[in-house]
Structure 1
Amino acid sequence: MTQRPQLPQAGGVLAGIRAMLPVLKPSERRVAEAVLSRPGWAIEGSAQDLAAAADVSRATVVRTAQRLGYSGLPQLRVLLARDVGRAGSESRPEGAGVSRLPAGPTRTVLDFCSSVVESLQALTTLLDADDVDHAVTVLAGAQRILVGGHGVSAPVAAEAAMRLSAIGHPAEAPQDALDQEIKARLLSQADACLLISGTGATRSTVAVAQSARAAGASIVALTGFHGSPLSKIADVTLTAGFGGDSLQEELRAPLRIPQAVLVNALVQAVADSDPARALAARDRVLEVVGDAFTDQPDEIGTG
């Protein structure tokens, strides 16, 4: 049974609905997508209006609201109205900024930047304080940390391992899927496994989690959705969310940016948990970095 999510913070209703899409039944998903596509209309519409729009029964509309974590449709509508009104009061004046630009490369770049800002705002509303504290405690107390991620999550995993090591918490992020699974199985109860997956359903990443679980290691998962297969194995899951409304949009949405930001934020929190250890490690890292540079211009290639 999927655990009901906590009520979202201000501004987090739509992000929370998006994060729940993969675990909803098809009929429930149609209701959720109707709300996402027309939030203003959903606030004013009745349960029967939503039912007609999603081609489901009124009971399905009520059940969907409850699956999303609300006591019923009235509570969902009230909190959605709060968020829609809040977004309107914080938006830029009509005709300002991006909206005045013609279609073209500049508009595309600025539109993408705007979507990144929105995805980061969604991230802050999806994070649960207790889950963040738990994740930081696990990572800070681990003897060693295995970081796993496949496909477009692999670069985020590599950065996480590098930054954790740089603050004195030994971490590695093998690139080969089988190597990740083997090293996960060789972890101990004193170790931790940090897994990064947009969907939380990648077969190879779930296999690494299962191996880490069999080894007795603690598991921290970073995903884009609630209720994923990975989150059911992990000790704690942090949901980053993203700007799209479906799994099909994952590759073109800026999902990895909020994940990368979250990784760096976690590393900072781990460093703050033991400042002396982090400072000593950074001093040694800077010694290595300093040795990597040369003051001799003639040693630098000109080709």
Structure 2
Amino acid sequence: MSSMDVFSNISTLFNSFTKSEKRVAEYILQNRSQIMYMSITELSEKSSVGESSIFRFCKGLGYTGYQEFKIAVAQSLSGENSDATYTIGTEILLNDSLEEMASKVKMTNISALDETEKLLDYGVLADAVEKMVEAEKIRFFGIGSSLITAMEGHNKFLRITNKAELTVDSHLQAMSAALMTEKEVAIVISYSGQTKDSIEVAKMAKASGAYVIAITRFHKSPMTAFADATLLCGANEGPLQGGSLSAKIAQLYLLDVLYFEYFKKTYEVSKANKERTAKAVADKLL
């Protein structure tokens, strides 16, 4: 990786770029603060340049790929600030007081929820829940920090239905997805929609005939190409903020919406199951 500031590096090498690389460079230099929140698919669409050209552009700058390039962008943007205003997160500064920091964290999470609500497609949601109600199994999938979100979703649905299933190991997830049927629903969670394991799981579940629900940030990503329903979370997460709670909160909000609509449509059965599962763990409490 080049040790030079990434924007200076781009400017220095600009005249040596191909025509398509110059388009990418110009867009990056004009929108530098937004780049670290963009997927390669989104940058490709915004700059009107193919993903393969963007990948070659990043390699030409000395990076192994687009993700390492985004990390360099985040580091360069942080370096533009003085020590007193060094950015820790999206909004939080090094010299913020405890009260200011707490307020900013709250507003970041509220903003993520507000944007997620605005991105809701109620027709897609209704269809997704209907498929879940009809399904024999609802399988949750996720890798890394998204697995934690998937586990939360599985835990929530397991309280009201025995249809919920989850496998932790990525290899076992792949095998589980490969054996799904048209009577099952796969809920695949990935913030970027570009995690290789999640893409493969969605692809295999789709090939098996299952109904695939993708929970992600980007509508156009490799994973959503295999989704029957795409639910978008409205949280921005930079490359140095992997697994941010604001993104997780937005994903959990979507799972909550699915849960309560499912509960409504299966009220008598879900209510009875919730009482039974509550009693099953009652003696575990003091």
TMscore range, shorter length: 0.5 to 0.7
Are positions 1:262 and 2:254 aligned together?
yes
Gaps of 5+ in 1: 1-24, 38-59, 65-101, 295-303
| 2:139 corresponds to | 146
| 2:282 corresponds to | 290
Q: Secondary structure at the match of 2:192?
A: coil
Mapped contact 1:119–1:241 kept (Cα < 8 A): yes
Mapped contact 1:198–1:250 kept (Cα < 8 A): no
Gaps of 5+ in 2: 1-22, 36-45, 50-94
| 1:11 corresponds to | none
Structure 1 ranges of 4+ moved more than 3 A: 25-37, 246-253
TM-score, scaled relative to structure 2: 0.66
| 1:110 corresponds to | 103
Mapped contact 2:192–2:218 kept (Cα < 8 A): yes
User: Taking every aligned residue pair, what percent have the same amino acid on both sides?
Assistant: 24
| 1:212 corresponds to | 205
Shift of 1:126: 0.9
CA RMSD of aligned residues (A): 2.9
| 1:126 corresponds to | 119
1:103-252 mapped onto 2 (5 Å cutoff): 103-244=96-237, 249-252=241-244
> For 2:27 and 2:215, how far apart are their aligned partners in 1?
23
Shift of 1:142: 1.1
Q: Secondary structure at the match of 1:194?
A: strand
TM-score, scaled relative to structure 1: 0.63
Shift of 1:207: 1.0
Shift of 1:215: 1.4
> For 1:114 and 1:284, how far apart are their aligned partners in 2?
38
- What one-letter code is carried by the residue in structure 1 that aligns with 2:255? V
Mapped contact 2:188–2:198 kept (Cα < 8 A): yes
> For 1:235 and 1:281, how far apart are their aligned partners in 2?
28
> For 2:139 and 2:149, how far apart are their aligned partners in 1?
13
Mapped contact 1:118–1:243 kept (Cα < 8 A): no
Q: Secondary structure at the match of 1:219?
A: strand
> For 2:153 and 2:175, how far apart are their aligned partners in 1?
20
| 1:22 corresponds to | none
Deviations 1:236-284 (A, max 9, x none): 100112134x556554472111101211121111111110111111111
